[in-house]
Structures are given as C-alpha cells and as structure tokens.
Amino acid sequence: MTNYSHTLNLPKTSFPMKANLAKRELEILQLWKQLYPSLRAKRAGQPKFVLHDGPPYANGHVHIGTTLNKVLKDITVKAKNMEGYDAPFVPGWDCHGLPIELQVLKKVKGNTAQLRKACREHAQQYVNLQMQEFKRLGVVADWDAPYLTMNPDFEALTAQKMFSLVKSGALTKGKKPVHWCVECHTALAQAELEYKNHTSRAVYVRFSLVDSEVFCTKHNVPIKEVSLVVWTTTPWTLPANTAVCLHADYQYCVLAQHDEYLVTASDLRNDFCDKSNIENAEVVATFSGKDLQNALCQHPFLSRNVPVVLGEHVNLSQGTGCIHTAPGHGEEDFAVGKEYQLPVLCPVDDYGYFTDEVPQFHGKKVWEVNDLVVETLQQSNTLVQQHDQQHEYPYCWRCHSPVIVRATPQWFVSMDYDKLRERCIEEATKTQWIPQWGKKRIVNMLQKRPDWCVSRQRAWGVPIAVFYCNECDTQVRDDVVMQHVVKLFSQETCDVWFTKPVEDLMPKDYRCCGAQNFTKENDVLDVWFDAGTTQDIVLKRQDLKYPADLYLEGSDQFRGWFQSSLVLAVAGNKSAPYKAVATHGYVVEPRTKNREKQKVSKSRGALFPKDLIEKYGADLLRLWVASENFRDDVEFSPDKLQQVQTYYRKIRNTYRYLLGNLYDDDQQIHKFCDLPQLEKYILTRLHTLNGEVREAYARYEYHTVFQLVQNFFSNELSSLYFDVRKDTLYSESANSSQRRQAQFVLRELLRTTLPWIAPVLSFTAEEIWQHVRKDCDEHSIHLSKFCNVNADYCDAALQQQWKNLLQLRTDILKKLEDSKNRGLIKTFAEAHVNAGGQVSTEYCKILTQLLPVARVSCSDGDMSVMVFAGKKCQRCWQYFSIEKDSGDLCQRCIDVLHLHTE
C-alpha cells in the first residue's frame, strides 16, 4: 500500500505543543526588560488611563491573595494599553507599621533609632523580593520608579499633609476612647480590627436608687429597695462606671421580686426574667425613661453615687435598656459623658493592667478582673445573674488578640469638622462602584464611621511632627516650623525626628511667646494615613493624573484604603481620588460536603505563588485569575489549577493549529463576498466576538473574556472550523483557492484573537508573537493594539442562518451516534446521510462539508443513515464512489497529485 503522507500539506511549526512555561517564561522576561518605557513612548499623547496601585505590605513573600490582586491590575492595565490608552502603572509598597516592627523586634534589641534602621532595611528587603515575584508573574510596571511610603520625599509629603490638617483644625489631639491592643501596646483604627465569634462573661447588676423611698411613693407602691438592672459583657469596666443611661422615650417597668423592685425596659422584661430564672415577677408600675433623669444610683461595689442619664444609643436588641456607662471605655459612653460632664475614668494602663486608681484590682490584667468583679458583685449582693454570651468581638489584626476600649490622649481626624462626613458621602455617591452594592456599603460605613484615630504608640512610622511650647503650653503651628521639618525629612528621612534633639529639629533661633523651650510629640501616624496620602502624592507624578480612573482592591479595603484615601482627599478640599472602584473577593478553598468555604491560609498549608510558578508557570495562575468572577470570593486549589491547565492546553493547541497551517501562507487578502459560506460564518463570528471581548474588558469582566474565548476556540474553531477544513488544508493542492481562502481566515483569526489573550496569557501571547512577527511589526505583542475587524464581516442575517444550520448539524450528529451504537455503521466516515426532504438544496451542499460523512442527500422522507457504497481514499481517507478502473485514490486526490508532478 502506497504511503501518500509526503504529498499532504501537513502542519509545520516550531511552536511546541508542550508549553514548558516555567522555563520559557524566564526567556520572555529577558525580552521585556525595556517593555515598560517602550510602551510609554508608544502611547505618549493618547488619552490617559490611571489605575492607582494600592500598596501591598512589604513583609513576606507574595501570597495567593496578592497574586489575585496584582494580576487583575496587570490585566486591566494591559487591556487599556491594547485599547490604545496611555495606561501607566506605578507600583507601590506600604513600608511602615506594626507588622514589620514586630518582626524586627524578634531579632533587634536597641534604641528607637536602631530599631527604625532595622525596620527600614527589613522593608527594603521585602520590597526587592516582592518586586521580583511580581515581575515573575508577568506584571509590567514602572519597576524603576515605584513609590515607597518610607522614601524620604514620601515621608516629607506625608508630614506636610498632616501639618495641613492640624492647621485647618481637622486633626486635633484629645482624650477619647479608642480600640487598644494590650499585646501590641497601641491604639488601633477601625480598619485594623477583625471581628470574631467570642464568648464573654455577661452579668446583670443591681444599681440601687439612692432615693428608693421617694421613687416608691411617687409610683404608689410599697416601699422597698429599687434597683436599675444593668447588663454588660465587660464586667472589668464596671470600676470605671460613672452613670446609668436610659432612653428618654422607652417604657420601663418595675418588677416586684421578693423584698425588692427591679427595673428593666418593658420590652426586655421577658428576656431578662428568662435569663435570670425569675418566675412570676409582677409589674407593679411603669414609667418613661425621662422620668428618672438625674436620679442617683449607688455604684454596685464602690463608694460613690452615679447619675441616671439619657441617650439615643440605648436600644432594645438585648440587655435591659439600662446601659452601664463608662466614658473611659466606650465611644457612645464618652459622647453621653461629654453631654452630662461625667468624669472620664480609665484605670487601665497600656499593657492592660489595672492601675492603683482601683486598689482592689491593682496589677491585675483586665481579663482576670472579669472574674474578680463577678466575685465582688456576689459579695456585695449586687449580682442578679451571670451567663456566657456569644457575640462578635474585635480582635487585633496583627496579633489576633482581643482588644479593649480605653480613653487615652490620641490624635483624631474629626469626621464632622467642616462637614467632612457629608462631603465624603457626597463624593462616594458620585463614584462608580463595581459591583454596584459597593456604593451602599461605603456610604453606610461613612455614616457610622467614628472620628479617625491616626496616632500610634510605636516606633516605626512617620512621626506626628508636632512641637509643644513648654512655656505657654500650646502646639506650635507655624508654617516656618512645619516647612523646616518637611525639608529635614526629605533630606534625611523622618528618622531624624528620633535621632536629633528638639533644638536641631527647629529653625535656628525660633521662638514661641519669647521662649525656646520645646518638646516634641512621640506618637507616629497610622499606616492607613500613609496609604491614604498616596492619592495626594503619587497621583501628582507627571506621568499620572488626579483623580485615578480606577482603584482595584480586595473587599476588605472598604474599611481600609478606600476610606482613608477618600477622607484625606476630601479633607484637602478635593474630589474623590477615584472615578471608579472595583473590588474582588477573598481567595477561598472550595466548599466540601463537610466544610464551608474557608479563606486560603498559609497556616493550613497553602502554597506560595512562587512554588506554583516553578511547577506550572505564571500563565496558569494568570488564567486562573481571569477564569473566575472576581466580584465574588475566588476558589483556589490544586484541582482548580489542574482544570485551568486543561483550558490552557486547548488554547495553546488552537494557536499551534493556526501556526502549523500558515507555514506557507501567501498573505493575500480575499474579499468577504468571494469566500465560501463556512469562511463567511467564521469571520462574522470573529467580528461579533471582537466587539464582545473588548466590551467585556472595558467592564472589567475578565471571566466573560475567558468564557468567550474558551467557547469560541472549543465549539466554533476546534469542533467545527478546524475539523471541517482539515481536509481542505491537508489534501487540496497547496495553491488551491479553497486552501488559500481557508488560510486567509486562519490568518484573520490569529491576527485578531492574539491581542484578546495577551492581557491574560501574557507570556504565551508573546511566545506566539515572536513566531509570527515580521521585521516591520512591534517587537512585543504588548506594544500592539486590539484589532479592528473588517466591517464587511458584520452579517447578522448570516449568523442567524448558521444558527439554524448548526442546530441541524447537531441533530444529524446525534442520529449518526445512534446509528453507530445500533451497529448500522462502523464509523461516521462511511455513512450516507439523508437529511430529509425539508432541507433545502443550499443547506444540503453546506452540510456535505460540515459533516464527517461520505455523502449527504436531501431526499423525501425523514432523516436516515445508511452505509455508503464506496471505498476509502488512501490519501485523504474520504470515501468515494466506486467507478470503472478506480484505484485507491479519489478523483480529487488524483488531480492534486497530477498537479504535484507537473
């Protein structure tokens, strides 16, 4: 039997089937060394699009959540560049703060200056490390000029921003309750808290009215001791109690219980009685909360009386409606205390130990005092009942310990100064939020946001560079002083604040009220203040603009960077720092039958991206990112990556098919009107999809891009066009019109779809580009743009016609499968299909090409399948009719070989 394979136009390409991404990507990175400046020069003068990079923390390797974030940003910027925008990308790092300081303290013991030097070196080490890991992910950015919050210029400008807020009155120092970590010994902002399920010791406590006799007489009940019942989950704060708070308009009831009366809100009476095991309690009187205002109660175990006050924060969700009020340990308590001029007691030190203000608990930690307070209440007969209470409780984001609330002198950005809160809400409502629910979430947070505590009692941060005059006891707010400090910071870093004496930090011969005796503030700024100023510092770079077109961060940044950026921007009398904000979910492990989704965690054995890249390559991780709808939580697991690998192989094999069949392309242009019907359909679909893919990129719907590409490559190219046209490409003569027309379509597919995948599969697209580009082409795919597909290819009527035709093809393939299963035919190739009399002659001709059968006819009757009476061509493997003197070849192949030998 003759071997005819050498007479076929078999695919030829050096583009390998096996990707070997881990090795090949390193070679491509060498090609990209000058890609960013080349891209900026190429797009200079075009409309600008700025995605402002929220700074990751310079501590540790890049983890899978950071990978999701940075790859999403890179896809966004690359797609905008492909669309023709000038889309710079300036990466940044958050370099100050407690996590770095705690890491350094494990290794370095010394003074503040030595500690800060080690922190700076630690941060720089991880900036360098993460930068290399981001590069390895294929992120293209201005790596030569990133912004670091510890750079001298940045520290100086951060201090200048702080000065401006102090001078305007928006940033002031005062003693207020703040969340405090007793393990890290510092105040915490709302963004530095994580809420966990927590079990607290809850107590019902008697606060006896000093004038019970007057109360009983007024309400016409027998004279007994009357006690307001207070409920609290923090018994340790009772030593700081200075009032009991009721709601003016709530109804309260007096419960007769043995030889006493107990007072609770009427709506909470049953809950109180159930939890206190009180049965058959009789309500002997009711009154409104305002009726008891300014009455005095006896503290349950200390020798002092406390007043009854009124507050709008009292609610009926739980407890008794009688609120234990300790202005030194609660924000709402503090507000009520300010209104009623209550003393602010806070007998707890920075480490969570009681001071000698409460001798009986002196030296005891707050958690230990909970039990001691309960014992004291029992001894004084003021404990009604105790029970365990499950509730959400704030924990420190860094050490994961429960925090307390304590009043300390701190610096606060007032949310109500100059209507800052209202202005922030107004700007937030103007912003586009992706998903849309983000707008409601940010507005709700802003409405409830307390004043922002920006001071921290730590060493590694930008100092709150404020001086105090020791003679007149005032803050120095002189511009001359402020600018002198800013200049020092820009020249020597803000470390000088901790290494130089006060006189060397002040302008020479500067005086306040005639004196030169000053002290300096010791606190540093919250790292969220650093991050919040990036909009004011980074976006002023010449290559960027204000406001940014997009912020793209995890949903946890609603309480972090989204708010800090907005607050500081609006406080500076500017608009929101962003036009649009997109948020992504957490990276989670897949849900199983026995377990809900959990956030991917290193503590549970999650791999670092660098390890995954060494095994799979960066493009696999990038494709995983694009395949998921980032608006929800994103699942990640080894099985998920294996699934993505299957998708990747399909995409790679699609391009290998295209390249392999274009090895002898003559580069001729063919008119749409002259093409066969199948070619017209594929080009029409290409035109439609080109618009859909670009629109999906514009909407930041990268999972839609993935689905469009995957479906097109699998269903319309691999399963239809490639399969049908394989015979034409392989078996027709090399220069036949049919083959050249098919190659023209393959060329259009390659030219148009390669930019589709470039923002996602950046390395693979580059590898393909290097196989096909000519000397006149850009040296990188990432310097090119999305293609504009010929408008002639737009034919909606043709797409509808083919929709019907492909449905008929599907029905016939099902019929063929059924016939094969029943033994009527051995293979599809030997089948003769009668599509039925209802099928038009035009459709019948097209179906002959679309079906892998010997013959298609459209005779009267129903659809049927039979064995074709013919033989198999030994060259093209198509079946043909047996005619007189016919050999092993069909007539088509005989003709092709005849041309081949001429």
Binding-site annotation, residues: 553, 597, 873, 876, 890, 893
Nearest to 107 by CA among 95, 120, 119: 119
Q: What residue type is 765 in one-letter code?
A: A
Give the Cα separation of 438 and 562 in Å (integer).
11
**Could you give the 3-state DSSP secondary structure of residue 851?**
coil
Mention every residue, 6+ apart, whose C-beta is less than 8 A from residue 33: none
DSSP 715: I
| DSSP letter, residue 871 | E
* 243 and 336 Cβ atoms separated by less than 8 Å: yes
Q: What percentage of the chain's residues is helix, strand, coil (to nearest 5)?
A: 45, 20, 35
| 439 contacts: CB under 8 Å, gap ≥ 6 | 428, 429, 431, 433
Q: Write the CB contacts of 16 (distance below 8 Å, at least 6 apart in sequence).
A: 656
Q: In what order do the strands lie in the sheet with 578-584?
A: 432-434, 578-584, 548-554
Whether the Cβ atoms of residue 465 and residue 529 lie closer than 8 Å to each other: no
Give every CB contact of residue 549 below 8 A, 6+ residues apart in sequence: 49, 50, 51, 578, 579, 580
What residue numbers does the annotated binding site for Zn(2+) cover?
873, 876, 890, 893
What angle is formed at CA 512 by the lines to CA 509 and CA 515, rounded to 5 degrees? 70
Question: What is the rounded distance in angstroms from the CA atom of residue 556 to the CA atom of residue 561?
Answer: 9
Residue 328: strand, helix, or coil: coil
- Three-state SS for 742? helix
Residue 388 CA to residue 391 CA, distance in Å, equals: 10
Q: Is the backbone of residue 45 left (phi > 0), alpha (psi -120 to 50) or beta?
A: left
Residue 894, CA atoms < 13 Å, CB-side half-sphere: 9
Q: How far apart are the first and last CA of the chain?
A: 23
In this structure, the strands spanning 282-288 and 251-257 are antiparallel
Measure the CA–CA gap between 236 and 232, rounded to whole angstroms.
10
H or E segment to which residue 844 belongs: helix 841-850
DSSP reduced 3-state for 596: coil
Query: Are the CB atoms for 750 and 683 separated by under 8 Å?
Result: no
- Contact, 766 vs 27, CB < 8 A? no
Q: What is the 3-state secondary structure (H, E, C) of 357-393?
A: CCHHHCCCEHHHHHHHHHHHHHHCCCEEEEEEEEEEE
Helix boundaries (H) for 699-794: 702-711, 723-731, 737-757, 762-772
Binding-site residues for L-isoleucyl-5'-AMP, in ranges, read 553
Strands 578-584 and 432-434: parallel
245 near 311, Cβ under 8 Å? yes
Peptide bond into 435 cis (omega under 30): yes
E strand spans, 784-872? 831-834, 855-857, 864-867, 870-872
Binding residues for ATP are: 597
Compute CA distances 739 → 429, 438, 529, whole Å: 57, 53, 64
Return the SS3 of 175. strand
Question: What secondary structure, in 3-state letters, does 217-258 show?
Answer: HHCCCCCCEEEEEEEECCHHHHHHCCEEEECCCCEEEEEEEC
